[in-house]
Amino acid sequence: MISILVLLNAVLAVLIPLFTIILATHKQTMLIGNYSFTLAISETIVGGGMILGSLFGPTIFKKTSVFLLAILASILALFASLSLFINNLFVILGTFALLTFFVATISLKMNQWLISSVESSILGSTASLLNTLLMASDPFMTMLLSSITAISNVYIAISVLLCFNVLVIFLIITAYLKNKALKANIPLAESEA
């Protein structure tokens, strides 16, 4: 579950830099007012999604498992990545807002799960590991996709991000099926049949 959160965070971290590159190359069609104002609006929408997800997400999705939320968030991340191809500002900002809402919800539910599932003797080190992985994933993915953009173009970087999104979806669904099989005490091969 920790690796799923790290992967989702990495996708979210790299969407904003790719969006700013797309925005800079489509100044004629995608701006609201000017470039800085459009960038400020996008950051406000992303921040608003995080705030709303933190405030209301755990209440709305109280009975929903972290795995199902992660599947929804990874599908939204795929749509957010795809939205960068269509160069429509409102579609991009809408998918970003939904994605950040779900990521904030998952983050809080993950912390609740961590506190209730991990022994108190190793809770501090586990939380530190999670924070370290989250902090390391952002610059790594941003560096990787920014380098791809510099070498080729932004659409190649977005294509790589799409492949990464598909990998994340596959990993989350695999983890969900394994978790479901473990809870039911049924071997994974029988539960997939």
pLDDT for residue 184 is more than 80: no
Q: Are 131 and 105 in contact (CB under 8 A)?
A: no
> What number is the average pLDDT over the span 83-96?
87
C-beta neighbour count of 135 within 10 angstroms:
12
Mean pLDDT (the chain) is 82
The mean per-residue pLDDT over the stretch 79-105 comes to 88
CATH of domain 2-192: 1.20.1250.20
Burial class, 128, CB count within 10 angstroms (exposed 0-12 / middle 13-18 / buried 19+): exposed
Task: Examine the pLDDT at 192 and tell me if it is beyond 60.
Answer: no
Ramachandran class of 33: left when φ > 0, alpha when ψ lies in -120 to 50, beta otherwise: left
**36 falls in which pLDDT band (50, 70, 90)?**
confident
